[in-house]
Amino acid sequence: MVNERIASRCICCDGDRLRKSPAILMPFVAKRVFDWEPVEITEAWGMKTLRLGMAYPLCNSLQCRDCGALFLDIRFSDAEMSRLYTGYRDAEYTALRERFEPGYAALNTALAERAAYLPEVEAMIAPHLSGPPHALDWGGDTGLNTPFRGAAASLSVHDISGLTLVEGVAAVDREGLARARFDLVVCSNVLEHVPAPAALLDDIAEAMSPETLLYLEVPHEAYVIQNAGVEDLAAGKKYWHEHVNFFTETSLRALIARQGLTLVHFEILETEIYGRTGQLFCMLCRAQT
């Protein structure tokens, strides 16, 4: 899915005018992906050129000067993505993350509940459908938060986590995607995680017909909201976790246009997300005909 280990072009508009600023990769991600641990530099090392203190994996924050996309320079391989997301939020994952980030286990318990804002999403999508859809949730985890559960003609999930799916949702692999036809494809809170959003949209397009509606959803990250109007977002972005891509409206519109999709609807949804007020970029698209 990814061609570059270290990004040299924008993940959204493919521009090459990038700002760069040093940052760190958060310890949990570094451990899960690379099996790297933080280390403390002490006097016992006998080093004269290193400052004493904790050392963490280094990376860079990159920001496109043209569309504003902000992203981690390291682009994970398919194998690394598998290590990070296989068994996503299961007991082993949660224990490791709790070790590095005390308090995560309690948050993970809250994430086991279906998101309360989904009726708003369904109300946004429904006017663009002709009836109960045959729906595919690409990257839909267990299917817990797949829209139209209980109201769809069929629900399928394509996901790398390998987790047990909730009742009424069927797993579909690459071969199954090639045989199936879907009225609705959902890709919700996935693009912020992946190394090559454009390539992922190309893969999704192969599962779409001209009549298929695509619903895309990504977070409007708090860091981006809080720094609205700041020209250089890379300079203040000092660490990276699982969300390796931070989007702006301009960058999303550029990405959608670049991939040959027609934007049908664009909305910023402000809502409560697991007890916190946040914003989501919500987009409805169709393949160009």
pLDDT in tens, the chain (289 residues): 457 899 999 999 999 999 999 999 999 999 999 999 999 999 999 999 999 999 999 999 999 999 999 999 999 999 999 999 999 999 999 999 999 999 999 988 888 889 999 999 999 999 999 999 999 999 999 999 999 998 999 999 999 888 889 999 999 998 889 889 999 999 999 999 999 999 999 999 999 999 999 999 999 999 999 999 999 999 999 999 999 999 999 999 999 999 999 999 999 999 987 778 899 999 999 998 7
Q: What is the predicted pLDDT for the residue at 110?
A: 81
pLDDT for the residue numbered 68: 98
pTM of the model: 0.94
Class assignment of domain 18-287? Answer: alpha beta
Report the pLDDT value the prediction gives residue 147, as an integer from 0 to 100.
96
pLDDT of residue 72: 99
- The neighbour count for residue 82, using CB atoms within 10 Å, is 14
Strand ranges (DSSP E) for the chain?
Answer: 18-25, 39-41, 53-55, 58-64, 70-72, 134-138, 154-158, 170-171, 184-188, 213-220, 239-240, 245-246, 261-273, 276-287
